[in-house]
């Protein structure tokens, strides 16, 4: 399997898993306006997942399309980061997960806009506009909830603390990252760390929240070693295709 | 419909001669097709009827997200997932437009909404039925949104300006909903025997509730006449139900599905389809809280509201702090 | 915290959208938001999902000053008699162009 295919799966699976999580909020959000807003983010990420996975299928060259990749792989073959499969929890957990991801996602996409692969650059250019808005939104919510009430402050600090262990995996470089970086396909994984950290510290500072001082230790998602949460998420995601193999919908 | 059994407070519709001058002038403007706007004088009963009708309609949109949202995470393809997600999100938008229209009548959104949460306010009977298979998502789009469109297009001409304008926006967005439902049904009917059976089952289960959702027959709806005199409603329940049946029966045949009603037959003399007896006892049971999913729907809305309280309060508290520090900065 | 406590609601905002460059902002509806910045965000998410806009104004509903329906006659009827303000008031002789 080519490194580019693997890399595209990582891009696509992050978006797919996170959009699946956000989609579960639809109809259950804390206010009508917020329900509409979060669903827009879910829709953006789902659209991006489809573009990445479609291209992954083409690069692989075995005739798998976006659906074959989304519904036909077991957890061991998913390449998303552990962060995005962490449970929705309360709305603050979802917001914190989104912010930490958005801040990284924006840096990554900015780098991918310069990709030597024109398809990747093209998809990234479309996605980066959407993600700039995602960061603006999630950073705004972090700041508001961090400062809002004693309860919201405590909830957001807990959420950041709980998710922090998962916020270093994306800066680890393995053979796939290194090959994509040296071919100019993608920015080096570690190159995004400084900008991400600066953004996150600024926003957490404005939110009155403490940035944890340690480096996250949880890793494995990029290689297919996941948490227990992914399996349950895939059970819902893939139910129809598993129950009715080969059917057209 | 989305607003069923709207109480108007009227025993009988008054004639112009029976009205006081102010009410008579109001009724004459209505008769002339002039829209009423929020600050215009209106009879209290008209205002109250509108509040009841529009808030029921808003609640229906909001509760109506739940049965379809039930399948978002399980949609069979990524494309279908995106479409369904966008569609259910539209319902949130429709609820929002409609709650805003209620606010123009002097009732805030939370006041309106708390009546839903407490179980005092009603919403459409149709959303108390469960979505058991993917085909139900097709059937809801096709039959329920199909019924909604038949009902909502005339509401775009309703005598109350803000409601009419909200409905124009809703109808514009709604037109894709029915088509996506029919598209799902078409895919199922062209698919495997299992898929076709799923489509037939969904049609059979959703057909009667879709007919009932247009509301009780005209002879049982005392409030219809008053609503029609006020041009809040333009057509009777039976008229709209017949319109829906007439447009849908040929679509059932097009899909190659069996008709869900043995009495559903074209009547050449009437120029309409005849149809079998609707179970009104079931309808009134569902409206009065004894449908298959009433408890779940209301519990889900209450849960989202209660679990979201800290969020809404924190957002308000932050804005208040900001405003205060802006003011201090300005002095 | 029970569901029956009426907490202060997020304020109501009126939303105006310019659908294309060159057109004026038009009232499209309302929404609730805690401040101006979130009103703009929400307006984007609620009212421009189908490419409806290129610019958004948000105004607190409480800040809008409206004319009163009771003043309608005094405010607007006097304009009815000034028919000479409309070009159709003046007959155009046959054969005269560019008027």
What ipTM does this complex have?
0.97
pLDDT at B13: 85
Question: Considering CB atoms only, which of A33, A136, A144 is closest to C42?
Answer: A33
| Residue A38 lies inside a defined structural domain of this protein | yes
| Residue B13 burial (CB count, 10 A) | 14
In contact, B202 and B136? CB cutoff 8 Å: yes
Question: Considering CB atoms only, which of B103, B312, B323 is closest to C12?
Answer: B103
How many Cα atoms within 13 Å fall on the side-chain side of residue B287?
20
Sort out which chain B residues have CB atoms less than 8 A from A43's CB and list them. Answer: 82, 85-86, 89
Q: Give me the numbers of helices (H) and strands (E) for chain A, helices first please.
A: 10, 0
Contacting residues for B290 by C-beta, under 8 A, at least 6 apart: none
Residue contact C35–B322, C-beta within 8 A? yes
Two structure tokens written together for A58: 């083409």
Residue contact A36–C41, C-beta within 8 A? no
Question: Considering CB atoms only, which of B96, B114, B305 is closest to C46?
Answer: B96
| Residue A229 lies inside a defined structural domain of this protein | yes
| Residue B20 burial (CB count, 10 A) | 10
Which chains are adjacent to chain B, needing at least 3 Cβ pairs under 8 Å? A, C
Q: Is C56 on the interface with A (CB under 8 A)?
A: no
Domain extent at residue A238: 3-243
> What is the CA B187 to chain-centroid distance, rounded?
26
In contact, A7 and A185? CB cutoff 8 Å: yes
For chain B positions 180-199, those within 8 Å of chain A (CB to CB) are 184, 187-188, 190-192, 194-195
Looking at the predicted structure, is the pLDDT value of residue C2 above 50?
no
Mean of pLDDT over chain C: 88
pLDDT at A88: 98
| Residue A232 lies inside a defined structural domain of this protein | yes
Question: Considering CB atoms only, which of B39, B89, B96 is closest to C68?
Answer: B39
Sort out which chain B residues have CB atoms less than 8 A from A39's CB and list them. Answer: 85-86, 88-89, 92
CA distance linking residue B42 with residue B159, whole number of Å: 11
**Side-by-side strand order, sheet with C26-32:** C26-32, C12-18, C55-60
Percentage, residues of chain B above pLDDT 90: 88
In contact, C55 and A50? CB cutoff 8 Å: no
The CATH number of residue A157's host domain is 1.20.1260.10
- Identify the band that residue C3 occupies on the pLDDT scale cut at 50, 70 and 90: very low
| Residue A231 lies inside a defined structural domain of this protein | yes
Sort out which chain C residues have CB atoms less than 8 A from B108's CB and list them. Answer: 9, 12
pLDDT at A216: 92
| Residue A249 lies inside a defined structural domain of this protein | no
pLDDT at B78: 98
Q: Is C39 on the interface with A (CB under 8 A)?
A: no
| Residue A248 lies inside a defined structural domain of this protein | no
Two structure tokens written together for A171: 């800066």
CA distance linking residue B227 with residue B57, whole number of Å: 15
Q: Is B315 on the interface with A (CB under 8 A)?
A: yes
| Residue A215 lies inside a defined structural domain of this protein | yes
Residue contact B93–C6, C-beta within 8 A? no
pTM of the entire predicted model: 0.95
Sort out which chain A residues have CB atoms less than 8 A from B311's CB and list them. Answer: 30-31, 34, 91-92, 145, 152
Per-residue pLDDT of chain A (249 residues; tens, 9 = 90+): 599 999 999 999 999 999 999 999 999 999 999 999 999 999 999 999 999 999 999 999 999 999 999 999 999 999 999 999 999 999 999 999 999 999 999 999 999 999 999 999 999 999 999 999 999 999 999 999 999 999 999 999 999 999 999 999 999 999 999 999 999 999 999 999 999 999 999 999 999 999 999 999 999 999 999 999 999 999 999 999 999 999 999
Instruction: Choose among A46, A22, A18: nearest CA to A36.
Output: A22
For C42, name the nearest residue in chain A, comparing CA atoms only. Answer: A33
Taking residues B191-214, what's their average pLDDT? Answer: 97
Beta bridge partners of C30: C14
Mapping DSSP onto H, E and C, the string for B140-184 reads HHHHHHHHHHHHHHHHCCCCEHHHHHHHHHHHHHHHHHHHHHHHH
Q: Which residues of A185-197 are buried (b: 16+ CB within 10 A; e: fewer)?
A: bbbebeebbeebe
pLDDT at C20: 84
Percentage, residues of chain C above pLDDT 70: 94
Taking residues B259-274, what's their average pLDDT? Answer: 97
Instruction: Choose among A53, A81, A49: nearest CA to A172.
Output: A81
Sort out which chain A residues have CB atoms less than 8 A from B77's CB and list them. Answer: 67, 71, 249
Q: What is the number of structural domains in chain A?
A: 1
Beta bridge partners of C15: C29, C58
The string of pLDDT tens digits covering residues B125-175 is 999 999 999 999 999 999 999 999 999 999 999 999 999 999 999 998 888
| Residue A196 lies inside a defined structural domain of this protein | yes
What own/partner pairs with CB < 8 Å and gap ≥ 24 does A186-192 have? A186/A7, A186/A108, A186/A111, A186/A112, A186/A115, A186/A120, A187/A107, A187/A108, A187/A111, A187/A112, A187/A114, A191/A111, A192/A104, A192/A107, A192/A108, A192/A111
Residue contact C45–A140, C-beta within 8 A? no
Residue B286 carries which DSSP code?
A: I
Residue contact A47–B190, C-beta within 8 A? no
Which phi and psi (to 5°) does residue B156 adopt? -65, -20
Two structure tokens written together for B17: 């001669």
For chain B positions 261-320, those within 8 Å of chain C (CB to CB) are 302, 305-306, 309, 312-313, 315-316, 318-319
DSSP string, B288-311: IIISTTHHHHHHHHHHHHHHHHHH
Measured between CA atoms, how close is A191 to chain B, in angstroms? 32
For B163, name the nearest residue in chain C, comparing CA atoms only. Answer: C29
How many Cα atoms within 13 Å fall on the side-chain side of residue C97?
0
How many Cα atoms within 13 Å fall on the side-chain side of residue B143?
28
Which phi and psi (to 5°) does residue C37 adopt? -65, -45
- What pairing do the DSSP bridges indicate for beta strands C26-32 and C12-18? antiparallel
How many Cα atoms within 13 Å fall on the side-chain side of residue A206?
13
- Identify the band that residue B223 occupies on the pLDDT scale cut at 50, 70 and 90: confident
Which chains are adjacent to chain C, needing at least 3 Cβ pairs under 8 Å? A, B
């Amino acid at each position: 399997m080519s490194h580019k295919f693997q890399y595209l799966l990582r891009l696509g699976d992050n978006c797919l898993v996170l959009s699946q999580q956000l989609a579960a909020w639809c109809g259950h959000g804390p206010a009508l306006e917020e329900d509409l807003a979060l669903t827009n983010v879910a829709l953006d990420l789902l659209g991006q997942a489809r573009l990445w996975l479609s291209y992954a299928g083409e690069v692989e060259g075995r005739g798998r399309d976006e659906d074959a990749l989304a519904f036909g792989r077991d957890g061991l073959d998913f390449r998303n980061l552990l962060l995005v499969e962490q449970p929705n929890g309360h709305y603050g957990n979802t917001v914190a997960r989104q912010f930490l991801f958005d801040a990284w996602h924006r840096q990554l996409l900015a780098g991918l806009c310069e990709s030597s692969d024109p398809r990747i650059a093209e998809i990234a250019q479309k996605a980066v506009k959407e993600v700039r808005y995602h960061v603006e939104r999630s950073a705004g919510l972090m700041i508001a909830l961090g400062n809002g009430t004693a309860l919201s402050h405590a909830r957001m600090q807990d959420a950041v603390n709980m998710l922090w262990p998962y916020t270093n995996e994306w800066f680890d470089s393995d053979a796939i990252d290194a090959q994509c970086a040296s071919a100019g396909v993608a920015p080096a994984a570690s190159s995004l760390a400084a900008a991400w950290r600066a953004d996150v510290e600024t926003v957490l500072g404005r939110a009155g929240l403490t940035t944890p001082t340690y480096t996250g230790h949880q890793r494995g998602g990029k290689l297919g070693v996941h948490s227990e949460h992914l399996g349950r998420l895939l059970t819902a995601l893939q139910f129809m295709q598993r129950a009715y193999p080969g059917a057209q919908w | 419909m989305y607003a069923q059994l709207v109480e108007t407070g009227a025993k009988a519709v008054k004639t112009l001669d029976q009205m006081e001058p102010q009410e008579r002038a109001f009724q004459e403007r209505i008769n002339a097709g002039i829209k009423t706007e929020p600050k215009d004088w209106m009879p209290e009963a008209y205002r109250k009827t509108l509040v009841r009708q529009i808030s029921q309609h808003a609640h229906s949109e909001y509760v109506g997200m739940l049965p379809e949202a039930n399948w978002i995470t399980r949609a069979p393809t990524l494309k279908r997932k995106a479409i369904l997600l966008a569609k259910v999100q539209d319902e949130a938008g429709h609820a929002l437009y409609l709650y805003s229209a209620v606010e123009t009548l002097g009732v805030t959104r939370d006041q309106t909404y708390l009546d839903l949460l407490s179980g005092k306010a009603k919403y459409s009977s149709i959303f108390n039925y469960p979505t058991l298979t993917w085909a139900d998502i097709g059937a809801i789009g096709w039959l329920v949104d199909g019924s909604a469109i038949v009902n909502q297009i005339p509401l775009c001409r309703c005598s109350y300006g803000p409601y009419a304008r909200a409905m124009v926006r809703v109808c514009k967005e709604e037109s894709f909903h029915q088509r996506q439902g029919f598209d799902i049904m078409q895919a199922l009917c062209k698919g495997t025997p299992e898929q076709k059976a799923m489509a037939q089952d969904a049609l059979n289960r959703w057909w009667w509730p879709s007919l009932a959702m247009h509301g009780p027959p005209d002879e049982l709806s005392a409030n219809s006449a008053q609503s029609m005199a006020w041009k809040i409603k333009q057509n009777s329940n039976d008229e709209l139900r017949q319109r829906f049946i007439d447009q849908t029966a040929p679509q059932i045949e097009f899909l190659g599905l069996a008709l869900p009603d043995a009495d559903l037959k074209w009547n050449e003399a009437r120029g309409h389809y005849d149809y079998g007896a609707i179970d009104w006892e079931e309808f009134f049971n569902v409206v009065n809280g004894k449908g298959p999913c009433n408890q779940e729907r209301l519990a889900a809305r209450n849960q989202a509201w209660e679990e979201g309280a800290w969020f809404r309060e924190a957002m308000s508290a932050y804005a208040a702090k900001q405003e205060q520090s802006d003011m201090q900065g300005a002095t | 915290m029970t569901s029956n406590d009426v907490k202060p609601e997020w304020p109501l905002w009126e939303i105006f959208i310019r659908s294309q460059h060159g057109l004026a902002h038009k009232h499209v509806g309302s929404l609730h938001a805690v401040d101006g910045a979130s009103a703009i965000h929400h307006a984007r998410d609620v009212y421009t999902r189908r490419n409806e806009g290129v610019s958004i104004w948000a105004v607190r509903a409480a800040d809008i000053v409206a004319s009163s329906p009771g003043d309608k006659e005094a405010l607007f009827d006097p304009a009815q008699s000034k028919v000479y303000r409309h070009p159709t008031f003046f007959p155009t002789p046959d054969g005269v162009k560019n008027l």
